[in-house]
Amino acid sequence: MTTPDLNTPPKRSGRSGFLLLAGIAIVGVIMFAIFYYGILHPPSKRAESGQAPDFTMTTYVSDPLPPADLQPALNDLFGSSASSYCVKDVNNARPAEYDQVDIRLSDLKGTPVVLNFWASWCTTCKDEQPLLEQAWRRYKGRVMFLGLSHLDQDKNARAWLQCYNVTYPNALDRGGKVYNVYHVQGVPETFFIDANGNVVDYYVGAFPSAGVLEQYIQKALSPPTSQE
Amino acid sequence: MSDFGYIVLLIAFLITIYGIVISVLAARRNDPALAASGRNAIYVVSALIVVATLAVVYMLMTDDFSNEYVASHSERALPMFYKIATLWGGQSGSLLFWGFLLAIYSSAMVAALWKKEPKRGPWLVATLLGVQLFFILISLFASNPFNRLWVLPDGNTIGAVFRPAGASMFIPADGTGLNPLLQNYWMVAHPVFLYLGYVGLSLPFVYATASLFSGELDDSWVKRVRVWNLLPWMFLTIGIILGSQWAYLELGWGGFWAWDPVENASLIPWLTATAFLHSIMIQEHRGMLKVWNMILAFLGFWLAIVGTFITRSGIIDSVHAFAISSIGPLFLAFIAVTFIGYLLLLWYRLPDLQSDAELDSLLSREAAFLYVNVLFVVAAFVTLFGTLFPIISEAVSGTKIAVNAPYFNKVDGPIFLGILLLMGVGPLLGWRRTSGEMLQKSLAVPVALALAVAGAVFVLVSRNWVPILAWSLAALVLGTILWEFYRGAAARHRSTGEGWLRALGGVMARNQRRYGGYLVHFGVVLMAFGMVGAVAFQHNLKSSILLNDSVELGGYTFTYTGLDQRKASNHDEVTATVIVTQGDRNVAVLKPSMNFYDSRAARDMGPTTEVGLHTSIIEDVYVVLNGYERGGELAAFEIFVNPLMLWMWIGGLVMVFGTLFALWPLKARAPRRATAPAPSPQPA
Amino acid sequence: MKKSLLIAFILLILMTGAAYAQDGGVDPNNPHGLSPAQQAMAKEIQEELWCPICQGVRLDACEQKVCQQMRDMIDEMLLEGKGKQEIIDEFVDQYGVVILGEPPKEGINIMAWLMPAILVLAGLGFAFWMSKKWTQKKPEPVQAAASAAGGPPATSADPDIEDDYLARVERELGEDL
């Protein structure tokens, strides 16, 4: 249904018009490729399932520094009442079994893993840290708990662990390397890895209750076939 | 009410499809009766979408928390004004609002053009409805503002239109509340203008598509589309400026533009729309750049959709990103379909889009327009690339990176300086060609002014090359504008013998487009002047001040004298009093405050800040209250001195005024092509 | 909002307070007792780093707790006698490249710097090619049209350039009558 325009003189800039279209098409295809990748791998989906990426973490020396050294960091994190706040739960002493050891995720195969990303500057992490520690003490032996501190500093992370009496292995995630391969959206975020080393689920944000955390741990504990 | 709105939208959906089919048929069979039916369909669809939108507004006003959108974005204690504004405070509401604005634009456009466009008319209707169909689909199936809340048998609450099996209705006692950052007058106005601009950018696209479909490819479309591009362009400009004003006053980090993805998403289509409004002038005058204009008409619309996709689909993190949602794939499909479809259509019509004229000289206005066009489009794509770059980098290297202001300043800055240079030189070039001597003559004043400014800045203010270069280029543009006004007035003064002022008024009224354009350029000069000053010469200081103690910054003394607390309807307000003095002179009493909102959503986010601001033509004094201790004995402040900020806002106003001046129908004009100028009638 | 940390970019953590709460005679604005030169250096470093969890907020203007910790770390490293570049490198190592304001010029990130240059050159090159192509073709008919039109031809040979310009202004004014 085109009516060729008879008044138009023969082609003059046909080639440049075509070139323009081709240029725009190339730009469009590149953009589309980026978007398509983005849609397939949005931050929320990037670590959803499949084999959990392996990593090695060097855990903190659990032997606490003399409290006097940590006191400024404790005050900074928990206010001037830090010392009273932090000694609330001292009935469980820190075990020494994870003193400065290298833990590799793949070495833990056969045991489900709860991998928690946190930070000492994160307020909502304060709400869930006691829940995680309680769960750890309950599931110790059946489930491994690992904590990685993101965008954090040594003394602050130590003060935090000291204050919450955290007894599962923790480490500083230097440069956010593990954080990046797990495509974490923000702290706190927790990954649940089953005995075969597959990520079965993850939870963004602080756990609202011990019950919710429990549900997720159960997912990691149940045989992988039931997940399908 | 949720069901009512949903049904209305569903009917609109059906009529939209009818309208598209009937309009395409009408165009193919050349049947005016069918065409009229299509036109009526667009009016009906528009009316239905308005009704559906009003249904959401009604539910917001009456606190109908059975509706998911109302429950998750509003609350009882919210002032009525903000309850209405909640319509565009969340994702599904804002997408419906988008459709609402498109409905109004569509009806206005069809009503205005129907008689003039017998051939393009049905295609205009079909394309407008095609765009509208996308937004209706989004609202109906991906991001539905009419979802109701239900409790499932397992105790979870979900939002759905229809009752899920075994579920019972759920009406929470109160809503979770509106994001406190949005509870601000600027933030109420900013999205409205931004969307008016965004949605309006569909109109040039629609016009171009109708021209391509109908085969009416003469230059009449660029003449008629001008208003439908300039108006959205103006709204987008206002929206962007209001957004910066909001960022400046609410976010409390002393700046007005963070190169955040959401901000970039509004700037990118603005850049191509600006290119378009310049390049259609070439086509109008010289019949050139036809393919290019077709592409630009498309790019403005397409980049607005792409921008929405980037910020809403969750492919990149953004501070004001809406919740990650399911609309991503739908948007991506729409982006792909429009892109491929439009390029194929354009390719098919390529033979009919030949230039009528040749470029006579590189020293001509059309050459300058061509270069400035390229720079605008390149700036748009460079900004888009920088915004998307974190995805590319993470995909390839697995490492998260950030692309912040220093990057954009480095890559966009030189392009913007190039645009300023062309703004200074371009208007002095004539259509077709300009002789070297003539250009020298007319450039003398602007160049002298630019050199004088560069020298003065170097000697008196700073040796930093950025402000020296930017300000002297701005001075060049200013000189050009003044020169043009002078020449116009002088020519009229000489030929009519009128007084200078009258002559200037007369010459401006005779050619609103030209002088309106210069006014807009003048606004850009003022904005550049202010922005460069604020960015290059900002001072800031983070300080905790004891009660009745003081600190100094930039020649001012800031004394903290007290802290008050006040209860507002849905938040607590803590206000500090800071007395600003300069030597013996009292400058201002500033009241920076922190707002602690009551709603659940707001408590998670922490308090918001209201800055204490004293503004003057020289500099802004800007104080943020960041915290306090021991009942206010000590308070933490961040203090900024931002030179020349006011000029940015004045420049924005001038830009808007200039656009209005160019658009206002003072007199009907008939622009003529310079290719075949009639013997010039001498003004009597 | 679960992602409150990312979304709440002006989150001010009041309840945890800052270190200056104690009455130990510590200057709240210089808790680590830096010398004026060190304070200036600290500010300089802060202006080169960015809040890692906000978008577009520089470290010196950021109120997040993570930024407070970063500023403390800068002070401490300065007290240890470390230099500016050393400190920035240490930050990149510990926090990652997200704290830089721009992509580092290495690996894939070089693309971020090359692409704008390529786009600018390609754009200007295309414009130049177009205008070259246009100007080379058929100059005569156009000139003929111009002189035939009666308007003064705008050639450089025209001695009365002033009048030519005015004629253009007046002709354009005339068009609008």
Task: Please tell me which residue of chain B has the smallest CA distance to A27.
Answer: B381
| Helix H or strand E encompassing A189 | strand A189-193
With tokens 């929206």, the residue in question is B239
**pLDDT value for A5:** 43
3-state secondary structure of B68: helix
Q: Which residues of A touch C98 (CB under 8 A)?
A: 176
In B, which residues are within 8 Å of C102 by CB distance? 403-404, 406-407, 410
Q: Please give the Cα distance from B364 to B293 (Å, whole number).
A: 19
- Cβ within 8 Å of A, B 212-251: 215, 217
Shared domain for C79 and C116, answered yes or no, is no
Residues C38 and C81 in one domain: yes
Q: Which residue has the higher pLDDT, A133 or B601?
A: A133
Specify if C72 maps to a domain. Answer: yes
Instruction: Give B373's contacts in chain C (Cβ within 8 Å).
Output: 127
pLDDT over 70 at B567, yes or no = yes
Q: What is the CATH number of the domain that holds C50?
A: 1.10.8.640
Residue type for C100, please?
L
pLDDT at C153 over 90: no
Q: Is residue C43 domain-shared with residue C96, that is, in the same domain?
A: yes
Whether residue B243 contacts residue B266, with contact meaning beta carbons closer than 8 Å, is answered with: yes
What is the average per-residue pLDDT within C8-21? 36
CB contact under 8 A, B634 and C58: no
Q: Which tens digit of pLDDT belongs to each residue from B639-667?
A: 999 999 999 999 999 999 999 999 887 65
CA distance B125 to B103: 11
- Specify if C169 maps to a domain: no
Calpha distance B173→A134 (Å, rounded): 34
Strand ranges across the sheet with B168-169: B157-160, B148-151, B168-169
In which residue ranges of chain A is pLDDT below 50? Answer: 1-13, 44, 46, 90-91, 95-96, 226-228
Kindly give the residue spans of alpha helices, DSSP state H, lying in B350-464: 365-397, 405-425, 436-456
pLDDT value for B299: 94
Residue B587: both structure tokens together: 């400058």
ipTM of the complex: 0.82
Domain count along chain C:
2
Q: Is B358–C139 a contact, with Cβ atoms under 8 angstroms apart?
A: yes
CB contact under 8 A, B605 and C101: no
Let me know if residue C166 belongs to a domain: no
**Mean local confidence (pLDDT), B234-263:** 89
So what's the pLDDT on residue C53? 85
CA-based nearest residue in chain C for residue B387? C112
The single-letter code of the amino acid at B226 is: R
> Measured between CB atoms, which of A18, A39, A185 is closest to B329?
A39
Q: With 0-12 CB in 10 A as exposed, 13-18 as middle and 19+ as buried, what is A72?
A: middle
Residue B113 has pLDDT above 50, yes or no: yes
Amino acid letter, B543: S
C-beta separation of A85 from A46 below 8 A: no
Query: Is C16 in contact with A187 (Cβ distance < 8 A)?
Result: no
A26 at interface of B, judged by CB pairs closer than 8 A: no
Chains with ≥3 CB–CB distances under 8 Å to B: A, C
Expressed in percent and rounded to 5, the helix, strand and coil fractions of chain B are 65, 10, 25
Comparing B321 with B177, the larger pLDDT belongs to B177
Sketch the domain layout of chain A as residue ranges.
Answer: 16-43, 50-221
Contact B323, B285 (CB under 8 A): no
Whether the CB-CB separation of B446 and B420 falls below 8 Å is answered with no
**β-sheet bridge partners, residue B670:** none
CATH 3.20.20.140 fits A50-221, yes or no: no
Q: What are phi and psi of B595, to 5 degrees?
A: -115, 125
What integer best gives the mean pLDDT of chain C?
A: 71
**pTM for the model:** 0.86
pLDDT tens column, B420-477: 999 998 888 877 766 777 778 888 889 999 999 999 988 888 888 889 999 999 999 9
Residue written as token pair 């350039």 = C161
Tell me: do C60 and C88 sit in the same domain: yes
Q: How far is CA A134 from the centre of its chain?
A: 20
**Cis geometry, peptide bond prior to residue A188 (ω within 30 degrees of 0):** yes
Determine, for residues B388 and A181 on separate chains, whether the beta-carbon distance falls below 8 Å: no
Residue B612 phi, psi dihedral angles, 5° rounding: -95, 120
**Could you list the residue range(s) of the whole structural domain that residue C77 is in?**
31-100
List alpha helices for B201-321, DSSP H: 202-214, 220-250, 261-286, 290-312
**Contact residues for B666 (Cβ-Cβ < 8 A; gap 6+):** B509, B512
Strand, helix or coil at C127?
Answer: helix
Backbone dihedral angles phi then psi of residue A202, each to the nearest 5 degrees: -145, 160
Q: Are residues C118 and C96 in the same domain?
A: no
Beta strand pairing call for B612-614 and B157-160 = unpaired
C176 lies in some domain: no
Q: Is C109 on the interface with B (CB under 8 A)?
A: yes
Q: Do A13 and B215 touch (CB under 8 A)?
A: no
Q: Are A58 and A102 in contact (CB under 8 A)?
A: yes
pLDDT of residue B533 exceeding 80, the answer is yes
Of B91, B317, B127, B255, nearest to B203 by C-alpha is B127
Same domain? For C94 and C44 the reply is yes
User: Span B135-152, mean pLDDT?
Assistant: 89
Inform me whether the pLDDT recorded for C20 exceeds 90.
no
Partner-chain contact B261 C55, CB within 8 Å: yes
Q: What distance in Å separates the CA atoms of residue A41 and residue B486, rounded to the nearest whole number?
A: 59
Q: Is residue C18 part of a domain?
A: no
Q: Give the span between the Cα atoms of A119 and A129, in whole angstroms.
A: 10
Q: What is the predicted pLDDT for the residue at A154? A: 83
pLDDT, one tens digit per residue, over B471-513 is: 999 999 999 999 889 888 888 888 877 888 888 888 888 888 8
- For residues B10-35, b (16+ Cβ closer than 10 Å) or e, as one string? bebbebbebbbebbbbbbeeeeeebb
Contacts of C137 in chain A (CB under 8 A): 12
Contact between B328 and A5 using a beta-carbon 8 Å cutoff: no
Distance CA C47, CA B535 (A): 13
- Could you tell me if residue C64 is inside a domain? yes
* pLDDT (0 to 100) of residue C139: 45
Residue A195 CB-density burial (10 A; 0-12 exposed, 13-18 middle, 19+ buried) = middle
C4 and A152: CB-CB below 8 Å? no
Cβ neighbours of residue C25 under 8 Å, at least 6 residues apart? Answer: none
- In angstroms and rounded to an integer, the radius of gyration of the C-alpha atoms of chain A is 26
